[in-house]
Amino acid sequence: MQKIVIITSGAAYGSESLFNSLRLAIALGEQTPQPEIKLFLMSDAVTAGINGQKPAEGYNIQQMLEILTAQGVQIKLCKTCTDGRGISALPLIEGVNIGTLVELAEWVLAADKVLTF
């Protein structure tokens, strides 16, 4: 099974970087055979993991993350980034967890491909 790590750091809304990384992750999860996908959100992308988002229009990042967790994708938010933004104690979307740079390093070393957005 191919192992793919996607690292993204764009803001949840206002930049399409995170949106496009999630679109690709969902499309990869629909392939046969399905690769093992891991998603690590850094910088402003960590705000995407906060539960209860209700965007006025357009795409819904929370729904996209829920699709990915249903596909079995591991999703982690950078602890340093969540601490820096004061969101570490906020409720997260089910299946989204806080991770460390050490975990990301382990993912990268074990991956066949690493994509960055």
Query: What local confidence, expressed as pLDDT, does residue 55 receive?
Result: 84
List the pLDDT tens digit at each of the 117 positions of the chain. 999 999 999 999 888 999 999 999 999 999 999 999 999 999 999 999 999 988 877 889 999 999 999 999 999 999 999 999 999 999 999 999 999 999 999 999 999 999 999
**What is 3-116's CATH number?**
3.40.1260.10
Query: What local confidence, expressed as pLDDT, does residue 44 receive?
Result: 96
Residue 45 phi/psi, 5° resolution?
Answer: -65, -20
Q: What's the farthest any 2 CA atoms get from each other in the chain? A: 39
Q: How far apart are CA 94 and CA 3, in angstroms?
A: 23
Other CB atoms within 10 A of residue 75 CB? 23
Query: What local confidence, expressed as pLDDT, does residue 58 receive?
Result: 80
